[in-house]
Chain A
């Protein structure tokens, strides 16, 4: 891994890259091998942390800037990130390269929808300023880079719009549902009334309780709503080291994961309206648990996240059922509705409909077969898997899910005929 600071250093590293190629890395928060390049060069861009918030709320930042570090400055100006994933320890580069989505996708789209321009260093070492409303050629590269998983080049700087946030609080409605159908029906019926919506699903409940869950929806609170309410300030500072020590408790097993889910479900109110929460509590509940991903004990875990159109809603039920049938306990299953996807970005993940993210310990017997079977259901429903979380799909699953893969390949071979930019993910999936 090579730390690079400015465009000249990136450019030199790219031009000198050896046979195993080069790849930009952000904070390394993607789940699989997207940010790895075995035997090759990986560029660490996190050394340059400067950014600027303009009066119109737009942010211009170097690619290695951590999203969480932007929040205090934004909040001070009455703004917030246009899109944020479930962790704030990711970089601007990683947000664009994976075209990340948040709880507001149904309303605001993905991160890429808010990007005005990027500066990209391509395989020949040159720097391009690419605007979303630029020339035809510029746009072709811009849209492929959004969601392009670092395979078109190195993003060094970007400018994106933000959204208004009158306070640093969120007004939240919470509702508990005893089964999957009622949960999904409520989401279909009511999500449009909220900017943010996400459901936590009990990945261990079976039978009639299958898919029971807690739906939290909300929007940035208005000043009048929080007047007089004590608010916890959102902690800032740098991301904790990834290699944090394991949580000092016995690794979660099937029983304790079941207990966790049960407790979480019971703790949630049946129906509570207008609760005021801090930003961190609402957007980043997992970030307080540094090292939470060690909870499964040795062997690790993987995330399985798919998106299917509304017509494929059944796949949500089938995946919970099938994973339940092999006793694959999930600590964290998250269900969300997506708004329309951006077809101009060939590798951008979201498509209108449903997305379910499930994490499971890799050591569960029969897991490989069940997930391969789920891939087929997802594909048959016209869906796809999320590259930023994948660590096991086949090249066939990728190709069938992303119908515009060849467009992406064409852009890549124009920009980078020798394949200088590559990753373990790209090799594994023959992107």
Chain B
């Protein structure tokens, strides 16, 4: 049960090794937090996250195996996560960025990315929604991206996977209205994380901590959509109306 100050007692990070997920966990930390589930593929990275969290003094940290592409295993993953009690916040943070030119040359790679980002997202979000509806409370936080808002020449495959995920989450938010469950869609711009470390930062870039703060305040306000930084809301609404011939040529 999240308390009156919007502090969760239990958190599930799906894609638990993501930089944004970990930063968000730190921002949600409080004396009432007593259970943290890290859902991720078994790896050295996951082991490192586990020992970091334990060293930092987090209580009740556990790992469950999760591969976004293997949707047949998701039911068991969520069962394992919810078995020990209600979960107040589920953060859907897994995702691959990929490379647009590679996607165009190897459509199979694009299909794989769609399988992870979109199909995996459909599976995790719907299964989580069922469980939260049953418990009558909770927040599902979905990492979308401004890239999904209007597909750009430079990364439309990734953008389309986020567009699909974003639409799903947005419909889910409406379907869960009145159930006690909140859906929070997070649309960051460029975030400095391991996903983007090989790229030159775009304008208005932010850190994982900025995204975390936006998530915390969005949860507090009961928001459905947050942009990070907040100014991107205006920028994107402008970009949506730029004529296609111009948009195509924009250096973004």
Contact = CB atoms under 8 A, between A and B. Distances in A.
A33 B134 contact: no
B150 to A, nearest CB: 32
B210 interface: no
A280 B77 CA distance: 57
Given A368-B30, A392-B32, A428-B9, A20 B135 contact: yes
Contacts of B30: 368, 372
Contacts of A393: 32
A392 B30 CA distance: 11
Interface string A382-397: 0000000001111111
Interface string A174-211: 00000000000000000000000000000000000000
Contacts of B7: 368, 392
Nearest to B4: A391
Interface in A416-431: 424-425, 427-428
A396 B59 CA distance: 12
Interface string B11-38: 0000000000000000000111010000
Interface string A10-33: 000000000010000000000011
A428 B7 CA distance: 11
Nearest to A302: B4
A38 interface: yes
A395 B4 CA distance: 15
A428 B3 contact: yes
A300 B4 contact: yes
A395 B5 contact: no
A57 interface: no
Contact of B136 (A20, A300, A396, A428): A20
Interface residues of A, number: 26
B31 A38 contact: no
A248 to B, nearest CB: 24
A392 B9 CA distance: 10
A391 B133 CA distance: 22
B59 to A, nearest CB: 10
Nearest to A396: B31
Nearest to B5: A368
A391 B32 CA distance: 11
A87 interface: no
Q: Which 5 A-B pairs have the closest CB atoms?
A: A39-B136, A38-B136, A391-B4, A428-B1, A392-B3
18 contacts: A20-B134, A20-B135, A38-B1, A38-B135, A39-B137, A40-B136, A368-B7, A372-B30, A392-B3, A392-B4, A394-B31, A394-B34, A395-B32, A427-B1, A427-B85, A427-B86, A428-B1, A428-B32
Interface of B: 1, 3-5, 7, 9, 30-32, 34, 85-86, 133-137, 180
Given A396-B31, A425-B1, 10 more contacts: A33-B1, A37-B136, A38-B136, A302-B5, A371-B5, A392-B5, A393-B32, A394-B32, A395-B34, A428-B9
